[in-house]
Structure 1
């Protein structure tokens, strides 16, 4: 029996991908240190899928712990989610980010090579495009980074590219996500950030459920239709389906491919707030605040390559995104701590 190993499998995107893989008939192992995730997520995934998931607690920087998993189970492919992801925190703690994200990935690849597992789906990010000169953003756009988090993702991309040059029998997909939102339609799994949310949708949801007083919208004077920042929001269920497609692609392909996962449509912050309020019939009080350093006006994907290589396109609508986000938050006002 072969397994797909998900590093960071209990996290927001990891748990939704675990569910998609289990429903597609794959055997799944989650390897997670639970620094920003919960064992309850995996328990709920198993219940929703009606299938078991193997859960191992460990850190990707721990070579012995990783090796033990590969020694015990026949792993065929790795989907690598594990990583720190808060931009502001990365600025304050750059060494922590480079150690966890970059050094952890090198350790993972070293163990994979030792056990002759050379298929990897990497959780990259649209942050590797920096402040793109042109939108929509294609995979051929120049890459740069404006903070240590983005730099860590870009470094890992370069490392994996060099690895494939040296060892062409590897098969690697670099999935560059845009802005994941939403939750499984059951409302049983969703985004449960530690402390104050860094992302827009969980902040909107927490305001709507009464955990926070109001939303701060950082800047209303950008060169966009309503002055607020425009982003490509993608439903996490669509994102999980993209990982399934990427994994299937690697079954017959070697080399390395960078692929955007986005909708190709940009929505402003005010678009998201208004849609959330309208679809869910809840108030989301907000205030306009000064721009944040490093924020850009507009960022959305050119998703054509994903359709061409993977046969994947985003299916979920904006209404789906805000409805499923609210279902998760309203059923789990304190996230997984409710369980």
Structure 2
């Protein structure tokens, strides 16, 4: 199996994907600056993967895979730092065979007020990562892209061939990185790159042990909804009741985060098994649900009532975004398997078990954690 580097692997999607990769036999190296991720998530991933309990700050039980060495490593580092990336590529003798790039900022609304920060982290961070990959002889990359690239479109569901017309700085940065990766793929033989355009990943691992835990006020609908249900927030604000949709609220394609995690594994399998290529795929369910439909599904599934208020539209949003996922099924045999009810049940299981997110039982490592040792 392959030794895989996950940038942003302590975040929501990265942690679930790391678990999926470990469960299929890969070795995983996580590099994360914990700006919107948490080391506790990685500790729990190890436990869920059956690698044994990690100790708290002493990290005294990093699971060993036998003579081959440790199957999971964590490096605290910034994707914009060449030194941090070199440390990650060198862990346990090096040999990184592929990179899954999750590190980045992802909130549409925040990107409208902090565009320079988004361009720095999302674009400059990817430049630094590609430079590190060249230094270390790695040419296989799965990139965490986004359906925000499509902007406002009359085509629903949206195929990969739809025009790219982002309407917010977050989307612009994803489009810029896709353009850069297209240029890189054409610049030299041997590159294997997958551009995975996510729609709306939500939910949590069914164990309730890992889930979405944004720092500060959530910028995305589902974690905010869960926090309202758990009493951490007073009410849910629904941005816009006058969109051209059935009930006036925005329509999105929600997919379970574990379906998304498995999609990354399938993309990696395809890249490693086939000749060098640039692969562009939507990852979505192909079904749209309005915000109010999601609220009602959450209430029905979990026997709850959620207070909400319809407020003004949020800058940078669009009315409808639903995937055409047929290419993903054709190219890699992937489609979503979990329902909206599964999403609501698993998301509430996570929130119920972790009312303060990871902070209620948080692991605070210091310095660099490698194998069975902690190095400050």
Same fold (TM over 0.5): yes
The aligned counterpart of 1:276 is 298
Give the match for residue 42 of structure 1. Answer: 42
The answer on 1:256 being equivalent to 2:256 is: no
Cα distance in 1 for residues equivalent to 2:90 and 2:213: 32
Task: State whether structure 2 residue 160 is matched by structure 1 residue 139.
Answer: yes
Q: Displacement of 1:2 after TM fit?
A: 4.7
Contact 2:251–2:291 under 8 Å retained in 1: yes
Contact map agreement 1:135 1:301 (CA 8 A) in 2:
yes
Distance 2:169 2:130 in 1: 21
Asked whether the equivalents of residues 109 and 315 of structure 2 are also in contact (C-alpha less than 8 Å), the reply is no
Q: Secondary structure at the match of 2:4?
A: strand
- Among 232, 252, 255, the residue aligned to 1:211: 232
Matches of 1:2 and 1:138, distance apart in 2: 31
Structure 1 residue 252, shift from structure 2 partner: 2.1
Matches for 1:1-16 after TM superposition, within 5 Å = 2-16=2-16
RMSD between superposed Cα atoms in Å:
1.1
Instruction: Verify the 8 A CA contact 1:85 1:149 in the aligned structure 2.
Output: yes
Counterpart residue number, 2:255: 234
Q: Distance in 2 between matches of 1:2 and 1:205?
A: 36
Secondary structure at 1:138's aligned position in 2?
Answer: coil
Cα distance in structure 1, aligned partners of 2:354 and 2:88: 32
Q: What's the offset of the Cα at 1:293?
A: 2.5
Distance 2:167 2:322 in 1: 17
Question: How far off is 1:187 after superposition?
Answer: 0.1
SS in 1 for 2:158: coil
Consecutive unaligned residues in structure 2, runs of 5 or more: 52-62, 64-71, 362-376
Of 181-190 and 167-176, the range deviating more from structure 2: 167-176
How many residue pairs get matched? 339
Q: Which residue of 2 aligns with 1:321?
A: 343
Match of 2:81 among 59, 62, 81: 62
Q: What is the TM-score with the length of structure 1 in the denominator?
A: 0.98
User: What is the alpha-carbon distance in structure 2 between the residues aligned to residue 71 and residue 38 of structure 1?
Assistant: 22
SS at match of 1:314: coil
SS in structure 1 at match of 2:255 = strand
1:310 paired residue among 329, 332, 355? 332
Aligned residue for 1:127, secondary structure, equals: helix
Matched, 1:332 2:354: yes
Instruction: Give the alignment partner of residue 97 of structure 1, picking from 118, 131, 145.
Output: 118
Contact 2:5 2:89 (C-alpha < 8 Å) held by counterparts: no
1:27 aligns with 2:27: yes
Q: TM-score, normalised to structure 2's length? A: 0.88
1:160 counterpart residue number: 181
Counterpart-to-counterpart distance in 2, 1:75 and 1:36: 24
For the residues of structure 2 that align with 1:294 and 1:3, how far apart are their CA atoms? 38
User: Which structure's relative contact order is higher, taking Cα pairs within 8 Å and 6+ residues apart?
Assistant: 2
Q: Distance in 1 between matches of 2:168 and 2:315?
A: 11
Are 2:101 and 2:143, in contact at CA under 8 Å, matched by a contact in 1?
yes
CA distance in 2, matches of 1:212, 1:108: 37
Task: Indicate if the aligned counterparts of 1:181 and 1:321 stay in contact, CA closer than 8 A.
Answer: yes
Equivalent residue for 2:90? 71
* Cross-structure match for 2:314: 292
CA distance in 2, matches of 1:255, 1:183: 32
1:246 and 2:272 equivalent? no
Q: What stretches of structure 1 of length at least 5 have no aligned partner?
A: none
Is the contact made by 1:168 and 1:255 (CA closer than 8 Å) also made in structure 2?
no
Structure 1 residue 132 displacement after superposition? 1.8
Residue 266 of structure 1: aligned partner: 288
